[in-house]
Structure 1
């Protein structure tokens, strides 16, 4: 089965086409169960029903581009649930979960993504095991196997 799965690097560029985001640097983190996205200015604007529950619809900003001069991309998405996630220090945090399409080279899948604050982290997005499971392999020694690396700083 592994011969059929695409091999991705430990870091790649991802596309979030449902939200109009063509390119975002992400870490493929086999140590994380759930995918996570750094967002800012999240706000509840409405509510919707999902699997018998009334849940919020939120807007938030995704920072796209360079760390020095990012572009703020506004997204509106329904929350499909909540997950309690533990950080590397063991601290638990309850995070909203949204669902979106994620494209990484040949991998094109719909996935649950937790919304969080990742200030000071090297990657604005983590792709967790549940998104990658049975869909790809990750080479921990190499990055950007399926997408081009970011341009070198000037």
Structure 2
């Protein structure tokens, strides 16, 4: 018997417990394979990856520096068809009060409305997406 999938909307607010981030605005995008978070100033220094998270709606997180010891570099095809090398980290995400592992590409999303994009690699097998809905997980938390 297949376990029932939660219905997630086109946007939501999610938490990253290991990064101590709460209520981060996310766009759910079934067209994107991977998930990515908006970072700038991404640098590799002494076998660590450093970056600053940007999220203007959270002044307490905006510009916060992060350091990661475990990370990968992967080729990612953008929506315009360009292939870029991007850093990726593995962390945890909390959605519908349940915590899951997730891989996030670090990228500058300056031109995007949402600091976080959740792609189908994470969604697959866990969620069904209803584009008419928003903040299903966040509203349940409240």
TM over 0.5: yes
1:42-66 per-residue CA deviation (whole Å, 9 max, x = no partner) reads 222221xxxxxxxxx2111112352
Structure in which a larger fraction of residues adopt helix: 2
Bigger CA radius of gyration = 1
How far off is 1:71 after superposition? 2.5
How far off is 1:69 after superposition? 9.2
How far off is 1:28 after superposition? 1.0
Instruction: Indicate how the Cα distance of structure 1 residues 119 and 2 shifts in structure 2: closer, same or farther if over 3 A, else same.
Output: farther
1:109 counterpart = 2:93: no
Total equivalences in the alignment: 139
**Residue segments in structure 1 that go unaligned for 5+ positions in a row:** 48-56, 149-154
- Corresponding position of 1:5: 5
- TM normalised by structure 2 equals 0.86
- Corresponding position of 1:77: 68
Distance 1:101 1:3 in 2: 21
- Corresponding position of 2:135: 144
Instruction: Indicate how the Cα distance of structure 1 residues 2 and 73 shifts in structure 2: closer, same or farther if over 3 A, else same.
Output: farther
How far off is 1:72 after superposition? 2.1
1:18 counterpart = 2:46: no
Distance 1:11 1:146 in 2: 10
Instruction: Indicate how the Cα distance of structure 1 residues 69 and 111 shifts in structure 2: closer, same or farther if over 3 A, else same.
Output: closer
- Corresponding position of 2:27: 27
Runs of 4+ residues deviating >4 angstroms:
67-70
**Residue segments in structure 2 that go unaligned for 5+ positions in a row:** none
Q: 5-14 or 139-148: which moved more?
A: 139-148
1:101-126 per-residue CA deviation (whole Å, 9 max, x = no partner) reads 01122442111111111112111110
- TM normalised by structure 1 equals 0.80
